[in-house]
Amino acid sequence: MSSEVYVVVLLFHLLAMLFMAAPLYMLVIVNERARFTIPASYNTDRYMENIIKNQPARCYAYLGVIVVTGILLTVNKGLWTDWALIIKLVITALLFILLSYVHTTIQPKIEAILDKVKPGEEIPASERPTLVKWRMRRKRLSATCLFLVLTALIMGLRVTLSYSPWLALVFTVAAALFAWRAYRVPVRLGWF
């Protein structure tokens, strides 16, 4: 592969990784929703769920680009035994599995509850605990996916730059702390 083609493939790979920031923004959405002082209502929740439920199709597309470009970037380099690349491949498979679980199991349960409510109505009190349970599960998985995306990025950087494993571990711990923080509180100022 010529250096120009390599740069184009790498650019698409990195852009797809950038666009996989969806778990962070889904956490931002649900944490901002939790700050509302009004009870759950159709209009507010339908708006939020429309944003969230349409995200998996985009994530599948980005993951597909990551896989194809990742193969193109590594096929001639003999990196298939690099531990960081193996971790990145496992993470990519886990992301596909978790995304599919959210898309095929959790989101339909949430949609079924919201489909019972008409515009302008509040969600019945009897349905709220179930809705909260499914949303909390989705939120935990979103934080897990955020951690996995950040770790995959760290491992991809490790494959490219060959820095020390201890530094990869430090970066991974920092990614875990950031994902935990984004899960717990709104990240109003980005990193802080």
Tens of pLDDT, residue by residue over 131-188, are 889 989 998 998 999 899 999 999 989 988 889 999 999 999 999 999 998 888 777 7
190: alpha, beta or left, given left = phi > 0 and alpha = psi -120 to 50?
left
Cα–Cα distance measured from residue 45 to residue 121, given in angstroms and rounded to the nearest whole number:
11
| Residues 108, 52 contacting (CB under 8 angstroms) | no
Cα–Cα distance measured from residue 161 to residue 175, given in angstroms and rounded to the nearest whole number:
18
103 has a pLDDT exceeding 80: yes
Residue 154: how many other CB atoms lie within 10 Å: 23
Structure tokens belonging to residue 96:
């596909």
- Determine the average pLDDT of the residues in 92-111: 93
Share of the chain above pLDDT 90, in %: 35
Q: What is the pLDDT of residue 19?
A: 80
- Whether pTM > 0.75 for this model: the answer is yes
DSSP one-letter code for 122: B
Cα–Cα distance measured from residue 185 to residue 28, given in angstroms and rounded to the nearest whole number:
9
| Residues 21, 14 contacting (CB under 8 angstroms) | no
Residue 41: how many other CB atoms lie within 10 Å: 15
Q: What is the pLDDT of residue 40?
A: 63
The residues pairing with 122 across neighbouring beta strands, listed in sequence order, are 41
Q: What is the pLDDT of residue 79?
A: 66
91 has a pLDDT exceeding 90: yes
